[in-house]
Structure 1
Amino acid sequence: MKDKTTDYLIIGNSAAGLSAAASIRKNDKNGTISIISSEEYTNYSKPLITYYLAGKVSLEKVYFKSARFYKDNNFKLILGSKVDFLDERRMLAGISDGSQISYKKLLISSGGKPIIPKIRVVEGQNKLVGQRLLTGENYSDIKGVFTLTILEDAIKLKNYIDENNLKSATILGGGLIGLKTAEAMLELGLQITIIELSDRILAASFDKDASEIIENKIEENSGSIFTNNTVGEIIVTGGKLSSVVLRNGKKLDTNLLIIAVGVKPNVEFIQNQSIKLNNGIVVDDYLKTSMDNIYAAGDVAVSRGRLSNEQKNIAIWPLAIRQGGIAGMNMSGEKVKYQGGFFMNSVEILGIPSISIGLNNLDDKASEGVKVFSQFNPERYSYRKVTIKDDKVVGIILVGSIERAGIYCGLISNEIDISSVAVNIAREDFGIIQLPADYRKHLVVGEGIEV
């Protein structure tokens, strides 16, 4: 294949990459911009793939940029090709088709890839023959074993469920990905079994009270949840999944296993020490890596957290868009500082919406100056928890009623002193009228309007 040259090379055709490309084009009208993706699809909204799977949106509605977006901005789009290696010193990217692309500036926004646990695979019932370990390379060889992180996964999974008329699904992982998967399965009318290594589902985002509400609702609707457990063995018959064996020895017959234990930054093509890695690509406050002409954004980036000031990998869609936009500005001549981000996750199960924002499971080291206000009504599937540190909201959990989430998010983002209204902060009717007067006037309603 013929080698190529570009001014700006963007690895990744999703939220961060496209946001960066748009920012670059605003500042540099003539520079060549190449976007490369290992996927075959022009672009799509990753948060919508479970909605597509559930039949809530059509395939056409999953896409968020038209084909004209690339043409109008003179972007060179390379689909179905992945980056095999980087030569940072020579400013070259090696592509899977055998070609190379030389660049002046590089953005790595290659996203995440599913974590595949090393599970023993047994062919048939004879444990003495045919054993191997499940890996990222071979899991898709087993009919009935899937992940759900990209659109192709959702399409294949949807077709498999329809073609085999499946009535149940086993989900390995009770975190956000697992629960969004469970939501889609329930929408399709499948009975679900969730297997979670922690002592409860959504342990990273929710506290025990919030998790309990969701767990109870699932179990009331004939779902099963196994906590403090995982899959130790997969049994395959004729190339097709037939059952799984849990770590505690319990055997579950199942023809569908969806692995949803989490994602990790897709950085395998970075093979030397030029770019600093620490559970992702470490970037400074301008989204620049340890190499002056290389930036990173989105699910691969390890950046400063807004609330803890620690370096974190926060893999959520809104931050990917924001990081990509700022990285693109800085790649094309500006100097814009990234102010950091915080976790924000939402999921709806069996008609119960829930959202978690910020820090909600503070350990003892961070507990000084912390106050927690909450209301818990499990009979109504309702829970509200507001975590305050040094008179500022740093975290919220809402289950059942999430209409006020935007107000709380604004308080967190703008670091508003809420000492004057703290006593009412977790009330169901807490709203704009209870906000501190200055914040109400200048940040919610608008400057110059009396309220």
Structure 2
Amino acid sequence: MIDKLKNILGIGKKADTSTNEIEVPASKIGPKTYVIIGASAAGVDAVKTLRKLDKNVNIVVISKDENIYSRCMLHHVISEHRTVEGINFVDADFMEKNNAAWIKKATVTSIDTENKAVKYEKDGKTEEQKYDKLLIASGANAAIPPIKNIREGKNIYPLRNIEDAIAIREKAKHCKKVAIIGGGLVGIDALSGLLEIDGIEEISIMMMENRILDKQLDEKAASVYADKFKAKGVNIITSCNIGEVFLDEEGNVSGVNVNGEKLDCELLIVSTGVKPNIALIEGSGIEAGRGIIINDKCETNVKDVYAAGDVTGTGIWPLATKQGIVAASNMAGVEKFLTDRFEFKNTMNFMGIPTVSLGFTTPADDSYDVVTYEYGDTYKKAVIKDDVLTGFIVQGDISYAGPYAQLVKNKVKVENLAEKVFDLGYSDFFSIKEDGQFEWNV
């Protein structure tokens, strides 16, 4: 469709039909050109939404990646339980099916909002792509802490991109000792993947916090995972001071200074958070704080420029996809608002133990009611303020987590909640309409 259109108008050039990479200049004549920077959750849902709403619009995706994949599943690539194709969350021919031009392995260097042009580097050349409307869904980069030698050393990796997962996997196959800095979700993901690799004799994970997964879990729920990892031989070092990284004569990592002592390792994984990839908006006039600032229509302060996903400072997949859909809808002229910004939900399953964490699971002060429940392998914790559930953890049997997610997200007040919080079920919050459909009655 795009090639036919370009031949008729006599514009643009075809870069490589085998990879569906086409540059389509924005034009006053014919269909508009919508450019999307990024091919992850927000960008992919934006493509689907735009194509659904407008069959004729030109869609151009520019991304550093040459594959579409779930970052949440990168540890399965480390363990070799899945291939790169196995963590793709859309069909392999997704771009072709949606008639979208995909410029792969390209790095956006700047955005000229006055002339509506995106500049990018590909294969050592600087190119320019015009747009009528632009969606920035460039995601986030790994945040590397200011530790001596951590940036310069070899065999030191974050776990953010598919290239990181592959490099970690290949190096780990030839290592005896591996270390991880950071005990959050990404660090534990990396740990889970490494445990599946034969030949590693020692895995250490270190953190400044007093427990693993401290942002998601309380001490009780975190200790269940910690005990399972320790039983596998993992060395968990909490509340520690992490100093410089030691390098050998060839620049390879040889260890980490932990509490003044050297912890030997041949491979170091750094999982200390992420930061929105906003370098590309420098000088564009697009406003940013922690990430690009957007309103409820996912619009930036610059006309015809939108943003969605991690680049806005949000951090969970469901919210990124919602933002992608909202942004694309408004780009296509269908007014839509982001009504749900809830991002404090984490679902995990390590060592065969499923857990769901909702809201703020650590009470801010003594004015909160904290109620817990334990039976067999199931543990529940509710944090309540004035009959409103502000945080909830369930580990083990997570079958009724749904209603609690609604209570936390919508800040629903339930009279005498602390007395009956663990006796609630779907029937307490659903009613049946005349046509037989279920609906929330809260």
* Match 2:184 to one of 175, 180, 187: 175
Matched-pair identity in %: 32
Corresponding residue of 1:354? 355
**2:7 matched residue in structure 1:** none
2:339 paired with 1:330? no
Q: 1:448 to 1:53 in 2, by over 3 A?
A: closer
| Other structure's SS at 1:119 match | coil
Aligned partner letter, 1:395: G
1:213–1:381: 8 Å Cα contact kept in structure 2? no
> Does residue 1:48 correspond to 2:87, yes or no?
no
What displacement does 1:173 show?
A: 0.2
Question: Is 1:154–2:180 an aligned residue pair?
Answer: no
Structure 2 contact 69–84 (Cα < 8 Å) conserved: no
Which of residues 300, 307, 310 in structure 2 aligns to 1:289?
300
Q: Residues 9, 149 of structure 1: CA spacing in aligned structure 2 closer, same or farther, 3 A cutoff?
A: same
Q: Would you say the 8 A contact 2:111–2:284 is kept in 1? A: no
Q: Does 1:110 pair with 2:104?
A: no
Structure 1 contact 391–418 (Cα < 8 Å) conserved: yes
Gap runs ≥5 in structure 2: 1-11, 14-22, 27-32
Letter in 2 for 1:374: T
**Preserved CA contact (<8 Å) 1:209 1:376:** no
SS of corresponding position for 1:388? strand
Q: Partners of 2:244 and 2:77 in 1: how far apart? A: 30
8 Å Cα contact 1:195/1:227 also seen in 2 = yes
Report the residue type matching 1:359 in the other structure: F
Residue number in structure 1 paired with 2:62: 36
- Deviation per CA, 1:289-309: give whole Å up to 9, x if none: 1112111111111xxxxxxxx
Q: Shift in Å at residue 202 of structure 1?
A: 1.5
SS of match in other structure, 1:120: coil
What does residue 304 of structure 1 align with?
A: none
CA deviation vs aligned residue, 1:232-282 (integer Å, no higher than 9, x gap): 122222232221112x20211111111011111111111137211111011
- Aligned twin of 1:300: 311
The 5-angstrom pairing of residues 367-378 of structure 1 reads 370-376=368-374
Gap runs ≥5 in structure 1: 122-133, 302-312
**How many equivalent residue pairs?**
405
> Deviations along 1:386-405, whole A, 9 cap, x unmatched?
22344333321122332222
Alignment partner of 1:12 is 2:38: yes
**What residue is the counterpart of 1:83 in the other structure?**
108
Q: Determine the C-alpha separation between the residues in 2 that align with 1:422 and 1:441.
A: 27
Spell out, residue by residue over 1:46-68, the C-alpha distance to the aligned partner (whole angstroms, 9 max, x if none). Answer: 22211222233333221122343
Amino acid at match of 1:432: Y
Aligned Cα root-mean-square deviation (Å): 2.5
In the superposition, relative to structure 1, how do residues 426 and 211 fare at CA in structure 2: closer, same or farther (>3 Å)?
same
SS in 2 for 1:198: coil
Q: Which residue matches 1:128? A: none
**Structure 2 counterpart of 1:283, which letter?**
I
Counterpart of 1:239 (choices 234, 240, 251) is 251
Q: 2:129 aligns with which of 97, 101, 114?
A: 101
Partner deviation per Cα, 1:129-173 (whole Å, 9 max, x = no partner): xxxxx33xx45xx0x2111111121112112222x1x34421100
